[in-house]
Amino acid sequence: MQYPNHHLARFIDRPNRFISHCQLIDTGETVVAHVKNTGRTTILQPGVTVSLVKNDNPARKTQYDLVAAKKYDLNWINIDSQAPNKVVKDGLTANDIKLPEIAKIVQVMPEVTYLDSRLDFSGKDDHNRPFFLEVKGVTLANQGIAAFPDAPTTRGLKHVQTLERAIDDGYLAYLFFVIQMQNIRTVTIDQDIFEPLALEIDRAQKKGVHVVAYDCRVTPNELILNQPVPFDLNQIFTSDGLPSSITK
């Protein structure tokens, strides 16, 4: 996916989880930008280069959306929480995403209700077998290891439990991590942040829920699903050397 009308800026601060102040590099103007990720992030530190997308809709409270940041002036990381679902939808529809046990996807439906949960996608393969797929974006990484989540998530825990129930009902089920950056060797669960999720995913995998992860090629105005990345629940993730998180 591409972002039109993007502008580079320097991040100044984030007075709350919804907005930030940034200084446009080309004009020096300080602007208010909507942060398209309301969770915690280690990326948005003073002086970091960010990508802002300008929207000319006069009804908006802010003209800009903050969609990506350049970590340590090295690699771009997309932090748009809506972007993972968009690239996964395109990948599933085009059969560019390879899911275990599925040779070809013939139907994709977004935002489906199953039992007491709302899951990101349902679909069918070419043998008319139904599946559910839940997407999680990953923006936390250190030394080539990415981790989810960046804050405790009871909602994410419920989604995994729902996928387990789908297995019991005869569906194929997938937990899909979109790593919103490149150069990642493996992805895991940060058990220091939310150990119950790791324990539940372990149960889910043993029951038959597939965990799939892809990294992305990221530029200031682009997010492209790239290639599979191994998921390893036993991989230890440490945040040593990372900046302090910005709290919700």
> The domain that contains 118 carries what CATH number?
3.40.1350.60
- Which of 184, 119, 123, 122 is closest to 148 using CA atoms? 184
Determine, yes or no, domain membership for 245.
no
Determine, yes or no, domain membership for 244.
no
Same domain (yes/no): 17, 138? no
Q: How many domains does the chain have?
A: 2
Same domain (yes/no): 42, 134? no
Q: How far apart are CA 50 and CA 6, in angstroms?
A: 10
Confidence (pLDDT) at 243 = 41
- 72 pLDDT more than 90: no
Tokens coding 196: 């119950």
Same domain (yes/no): 23, 124? no
* Residue 73: band (very low, low, confident or very high) from pLDDT cuts 50, 70, 90: low
Q: DSSP secondary-structure letter at 27?
A: T
Confidence (pLDDT) at 74 = 77
Work out the burial of residue 160: count CB atoms within 10 Å of its CB; fewer than 13 is exposed, 13-18 middle, 19 or more buried: buried
- 20 pLDDT more than 90: yes
Confidence (pLDDT) at 58 = 84
**Residue 36, domain CATH:** 2.40.50.580
Determine, yes or no, domain membership for 248.
no
Determine, yes or no, domain membership for 239.
no
- Structural domain harbouring 114: 83-228
pTM, two decimals, is 0.93
- Residue 107: which residues within 8 A CB-CB, separation 6 or more? 123, 124
Instruction: Give the whole-number percent of the chain exceeding pLDDT 70.
Output: 95
Same domain (yes/no): 20, 139? no
Mean pLDDT of the chain: 93
Strand, coil or helix: what is 67?
strand
User: pLDDT per residue over 150-169, tens digit each?
Assistant: 889 999 999 999 999 999 99
Q: How far apart are CA 46 and CA 38, in angstroms?
A: 17
Same domain (yes/no): 121, 204? yes
- Residue 46: which residues within 8 A CB-CB, separation 6 or more? 11, 12, 13
Mean pLDDT of 200-217: 98
